[in-house]
Amino acid sequence: MIEEKYYYHFFKKIFGLSTSLIKKTLEEYQNLKTAWEKIDALFLKQYLLFDEQKIRNFFINKNNLNLTEEIENLTKKQIRLITIKDENYPELLREIYDPPDILYTKGNIEMLSSILITVVGSRQYSSYGENATKYFVNKLNQYNIGVISGMARGIDSIAHCEALNNQAPNIAVLATNIDFPYPRSNKKLYDSLVSKGLVISENPFDNFIQPFLFPLRNRIMSGISIATLVIEANKNSGSIITARLALEQGREVFTIPGAYDNPYIHGNYQLIQNCQAYLVYEPEEIVEKLKETTLMNIRKISPGNSINQNLQKSLELNEKEQKIYDSLLERNLTINELSNSIKINLPELSIIISQLEIKDIIKVLPGGNLSLKQL
């Protein structure tokens, strides 16, 4: 017996990306299995407003679809289907105006239940944008907040890679078919996400790329997450579209400041000028705002109860290095603040910090603050 979720796939292959057609079909029939067996030309004409040509095409495509072959193909490629009727369908996504009726997934579907923030930005980016992306992803992960993005070149890819480095919840939403990573140059990243994260798509069609697919994809990104963070964006770019979709969905939008001569930050200013985004300097500002607006219990992960525990063990730190490490787990500190906190004099502390920099464990941020690099 064929499961109901596969009938979503069958209808999707014929109806295309429209969610309204399946919704209207379910209003008339008990389920899609029944609809598949009983659907007729009268229903297509009166309820779905198909013309004669569309009706003919529907039945031609329906008769040509090999159901067994479709299921075997999905199974062979390890593609799992999640329909809007399933319990593991993302609850936040279900709330948006036009939720996808089916998600094609590859990877760890448990990540759909994670607290996620959409991180987006320009395909062309500055070193400032790169550093800011890594910094925010790292710090948000300390609150067990994962990343969702579109696997595009630039800021999207940087966010995904940094989340992979941190073993954080990490979801890529494709505009293309789930088995057709785009851009093709990101095939290695795609493979890593399938292995250690999650890739999802609503597109059932092989090798099908059209410009209109990307805004459709963006609504899923913003819809699954509790907020959107714009790192660097040009005016009227895809990142700005994602931010506007997030606002329409009732989600918070955040953006970061940038230099006046940064050509990739004009979209950020546009959001701020239109009062469409909160300007943030530190990830903790995002966390505090989300605690207010979402009432979610977002707390910093205890070092003993997180993936950081294994990381700490692997670093083989001495007693004084461990003190520095533990202090920077809580927050970034200047060298003077750190010295006062752990009671190590400045000359000795400077030497230890240099050693930890060489080990690639800490870094010095603009303004002189010290931060953990591997968290």
CATH number of residue 325's parent domain: 1.10.10.10
Number of folded domains that form the chain: 3
CATH number of residue 284's parent domain: 3.40.50.450
Determine the pLDDT at residue 187: 93
For residue 226, being part of any structural domain is answered with yes
239 plus 263 within the same structural domain: yes
Residue ending a domain, among 294, 327, 352, is: 294
For residue 13, being part of any structural domain is answered with yes
Tokens of 99: 């939720």
For residue 172, the tally of other CB atoms under 10 A from its CB is 30
pTM for the predicted model, two decimal places: 0.77
Q: How far is CA 264 from CA 135, 154, 235, 283, in A?
A: 18, 11, 9, 21
Determine the pLDDT at residue 297: 58
142 plus 265 within the same structural domain: yes
158 plus 277 within the same structural domain: yes
For residue 6, the tally of other CB atoms under 10 A from its CB is 19
DSSP 273-332: HTT-SEE-SSHHHHHHHHHHHH-----PPPGGGSHHHHHHHHH---HHHHHHHHHHHH--
For residue 181, being part of any structural domain is answered with yes
CA 102 to CA 6: how far, in whole Å? Answer: 10
Determine the pLDDT at residue 367: 67
Measuring CA to CA, which residue among 112, 165, 114, 111 is closest to residue 135?
165
- Locate tokens 């199974």: which residue? 75
64 plus 182 within the same structural domain: no
Q: Which domain holds residue 358?
A: 303-372
Looking at residue 351, its amino acid is: I
Tell me the three state secondary structure of residue 90: coil
Determine the pLDDT at residue 334: 86
Measuring CA to CA, which residue among 84, 148, 88 is closest to residue 120?
148
CA 142 to CA 98: how far, in whole Å? Answer: 32
For residue 82, being part of any structural domain is answered with no
Looking at residue 205, its amino acid is: F
Residue ending a domain, among 248, 266, 294, is: 294
Tell me the three state secondary structure of residue 206: coil
CA angle, 99 as apex, 13 and 9 as ends, to 5°? 20
Determine the pLDDT at residue 315: 58
Determine the pLDDT at residue 310: 41
Q: How far is CA 359 from CA 53, 55, 261, 337, in A?
A: 67, 66, 34, 22
Determine the pLDDT at residue 305: 43
Question: 3-state SS string over 50-72?
Answer: CCHHHHHHHHHHHHHCCHHHHHH
Torsion of CA 137, 141, 143, 149, to 10 degrees: 60
Mean of the per-residue pLDDT values of the chain: 88
Q: Are 362 and 356 in contact (CB under 8 A)?
A: yes
Beta bridge partners, 120, equal 230
User: In the chain, which stretches have pLDDT less than 50?
Assistant: 303-314, 374-375
What does DSSP assign to residue 79?
P
134 plus 267 within the same structural domain: yes
pLDDT digits (tens, 9 = 90+) for 42-67: 999 999 999 999 999 999 999 999 99
42 plus 155 within the same structural domain: no
For residue 90, being part of any structural domain is answered with no
Tell me the three state secondary structure of residue 356: helix
Looking at residue 367, its amino acid is: G
